[in-house]
Amino acid sequence: MSYALVQKSLEQTIDRRDLEEASVHVPSVACGDCARLHRNLFGIVVTGLSRDEAIAFQVALEYFHFPTDIVADAEIPRLPDPVVRRGIRFETAELIALDGLGRESRYPWREVQFATGGFVETSKVKHDRTLIRNPYYNSGAHIPGPMFVVGKRETEAPTLQFRLELYFPREPYRLQFRADKNALFRCDDALLRFRELKSFVKILRRIAQILPQKRLGLGLRAAQKGRDFLYPNPSCLEEEVIWHILQRKRR
């Protein structure tokens, strides 16, 4: 059986150098992994440890005032696949989710068990055409050819995306709203362009005013204070949700 270390609170922080020093006691966690682990600290510190390694890492992190719980990897829940929507409409007792064709689905606000959202860093693969040296040119091949030929080059380009996720005890279970620079997003009767970032923060703030504080994720709590919130990648947003579900199950 393998184990994970789970944060006691999402508010706690640790310096990356302290995390690296603590990892010395865990053979399966390389020092080079700590930059990634530190960047992705949204509830779950690390998974896949033996029992002895989990205890050693927990004790080492306690020294740096970073308390954790040991949880079996099998206990960590998996999120359902998201149902993606491209617009939202606010009503007093319910929200209306709009798909890409403008079709509506209604859900009572009282049924939203948890909500989180903000801006997420993602990457997009770009396909570019470029001239490359013909590997068969002047190599003794019997078929003549040009010195250069057109080839394809793939590069990953960082991009920003807005995400809002709402969780329910029934279908669709996980409702996900997305917006990026390639598509418009509808809020009530307005069409929002992605560059109107403040408008998306207002959406989060409106939801934070509707739902109880204990059902709000970090991005929504930041929106309450008028601040943007950036998740380093989509997995961090999902990890935050998993952490909240895990805490609720373990009470």
Residues 6+ apart with CB under 8 A from 96: 88, 89, 90, 104, 105, 106, 107
What's residue 126's pLDDT?
61
The 8-class DSSP code of residue 229 comes to: -
The reply to whether 92 and 211 lie within a common domain is yes
The reply to whether 88 and 188 lie within a common domain is yes
The reply to whether 60 and 108 lie within a common domain is no
182 exposed, middle or buried (CB, 10 Å; 0-12, 13-18, 19+)?
Answer: exposed
The reply to whether 68 and 174 lie within a common domain is no
The reply to whether 91 and 64 lie within a common domain is no
Please write the tens of the pLDDT for every residue from 122-164: 866 565 667 666 666 665 555 556 666 666 766 667 789 999 9
Identity of residue 238: E
Instruction: Return the CATH number at 26.
Output: 3.30.1390.10
Last residue of a domain, one of 57, 75, 93: 75
The reply to whether 87 and 208 lie within a common domain is yes
The reply to whether 173 and 224 lie within a common domain is yes
What are the residue ranges in the chain where pLDDT is below 50?
none
The reply to whether 57 and 134 lie within a common domain is no
Query: For the chain, how many structural domains are there in total?
Result: 3
Last residue of a domain, one of 34, 51, 75: 75
The reply to whether 222 and 162 lie within a common domain is yes
Please write the tens of the pLDDT for every residue from 168-178: 999 999 999 99
DSSP states of 206-223: HHHHHS-GGGB-HHHHHH
Q: Whose CA is closest to 203, among 104, 11, 190? A: 190
Query: What angle is formed at CA 36 by the lines to CA 155 and CA 236, rounded to 5 degrees?
Result: 85
Which residue range forms the structural domain that includes residue 70?
3-75
The reply to whether 96 and 195 lie within a common domain is yes
Asked if 22 and 63 touch (Cβ cutoff 8 Å), the reply is yes
The reply to whether 38 and 50 lie within a common domain is yes
Kindly report whether the peptide bond that precedes residue 172 is cis, defined as omega within 30 degrees of 0.
yes
What's residue 119's pLDDT?
94
Residues in the chain: 251
Q: Calculate Rg over the CA atoms of the chain.
A: 23
The reply to whether 184 and 235 lie within a common domain is yes
Last residue of a domain, one of 36, 57, 75: 75
- Percent helix, strand, coil in the chain (nearest 5)? 30, 35, 35
